[in-house]
């Protein structure tokens, strides 16, 4: 008999047609909270060249499936693969790729996977650098430092703080020289 993905291992055995777990009160099986119409709407928007709109829908679905109150890992991984496929089809979506990396970074930090989170911060910086988007790079550095300050306290305790501050200053100098952001 299937078990609820949210209850502890000793949760009740459920019938496959169960819609609400009697123990925790949420839909018990992966994907039950996903609205397939959202995927269809994202596909429609992509066909209409509204890639940002498609990403926005999928991103919101991913966030709702990685929420602390409803974490459906299997469905979140499926949605993440749809997002990654969207990015592969449309490599010009740099800003959205950076946004998604920051979302993943935040999620991973929340669950204590700090090294993996830092990997996503580094990936986001690489994406921003590859397309010469200083504004995105600043956004990533600021988001990363904000989380690191909460983890480590004073700046002098943050790993790579000096390098990040120096890079941040370089970017600001470049922006000031070129008069753009």
75 lies in some domain: yes
Per-residue pLDDT tens digits of the chain, which is 181 residues long? 678 888 866 667 888 899 998 888 888 888 888 999 999 999 999 999 999 999 999 999 999 999 887 889 999 999 999 999 999 999 999 999 999 999 999 999 999 999 999 999 999 999 999 999 999 999 999 999 999 988 888 888 888 889 999 999 999 998 888 876 5
Selection from 9, 12, 21, 103 nearest residue 55 by Cα:
103
13 lies in some domain: no
Range of the domain at 62: 18-92
Q: Is residue 82 domain-shared with residue 135, that is, in the same domain? A: no
The domain total for the chain is: 2
d(CA 155, CA 157): 5
Q: Is residue 108 domain-shared with residue 160, that is, in the same domain? A: yes
Kindly tell me the burial class for residue 37, based on how many C-beta atoms sit within 10 Å of its own C-beta (0-12, 13-18, 19 or more).
Answer: exposed
What is the value of pTM for the model shown? 0.86
Q: Are strands 70-71 and 66-67 parallel, antiparallel or unpaired?
A: antiparallel
Selection from 147, 65, 21 nearest residue 2 by Cα:
21
**Can you state the percent helix, strand and coil of the chain, rounding each to 5?**
65, 5, 30
Of 60, 92, 124, which residue is a domain's last?
92
């Amino acid at each position: 008999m299937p078990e609820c993905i949210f209850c502890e291992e000793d949760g009740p055995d459920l019938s496959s047609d169960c819609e609400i777990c009697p123990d925790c009160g949420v839909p018990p099986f992966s994907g039950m909270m996903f609205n397939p119409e959202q995927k269809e709407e994202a596909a429609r928007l992509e066909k209409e060249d509204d890639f940002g709109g498609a990403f926005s829908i999928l991103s919101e679905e991913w966030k709702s499936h990685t929420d602390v109150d409803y974490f459906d890992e299997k469905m979140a991984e499926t949605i993440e693969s749809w997002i990654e496929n969207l990015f592969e089809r449309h490599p010009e979506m740099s800003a959205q790729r950076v946004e998604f990396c920051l979302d993943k970074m935040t999620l991973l930090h929340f669950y204590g996977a700090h090294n993996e989170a830092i990997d996503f911060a580094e990936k986001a910086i690489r994406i921003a650098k590859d397309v010469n988007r200083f504004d995105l790079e600043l956004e990533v550095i600021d988001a990363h430092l904000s989380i690191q300050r909460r983890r480590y306290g004073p700046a002098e305790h943050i790993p790579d703080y000096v390098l990040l501050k120096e890079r941040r200053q370089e970017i600001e100098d470049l922006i000031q020289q070129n008069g753009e952001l």
